[in-house]
Amino acid sequence: GAGVSQSPSNKVTEKGKDVELRCDPISGHTALYWYRQSLGQGLEFLIYFQGNSAPDKSGLPSDRFSAERTGGSVSTLTIQRTQQEDSAVYLCASSLMGQPNTGELFFGEGSRLTVL
């Protein structure tokens, strides 16, 4: 498909386990974003990748969270030693930088993480 693809769609894990969430952005989009959406909350920014620049990790809530983007395309968000408060929907988005730049982010359907 032509849209942002995320996997898995749903993930249930036990407290203390590590999880990996994958995002495949729209082809040609150089910017990639991860957001977290907790129940009843808005979207919390986690991390932003832009081309070959150093990522903006300012939103990562703890050192248990990390993300990488290989080859400027697919990104993986890793959560180590998961806690129950990590339960949320993790949304990935991509955007086109340079002209024309409408500022619009294109989102995937998210990965719902449940930590038991």
Partner 1 sequence: AQTVTQSQPEMSVQEAETVTLSCTYDTSESDYYLFWYKQPPSRQMILVIRQEAYKQQNATENRFSVNFQKAAKSFSLKISDSQLGDAAMYFCAYRSGATGANSKLTFGKGITLSVRP
DSSP 8-state symbol, 27:
T
Stretch that binds partner 1, among 17-25, 61-69, 71-79, 94-102 (CB under 8 A): 94-102
Q: Is 89 in the site for partner 1 (CB under 8 A)?
A: yes
Which DSSP string corresponds to 29-85? --EEEEEEE-TT--EEEEEEEETTSPPB-TT--STTEEEEEGGGS-EEEEE-S--GG
Q: Within positions 23 to 82, which residues make up the interface with partner 1, using CB under 8 A? A: 31, 33, 35, 40-43, 45, 48, 50, 56
Q: Which of 16, 51, 68, 97 binds partner 1 (CB under 8 A)?
A: 97
Q: Does residue 115 bind partner 1 (CB under 8 A)?
A: no
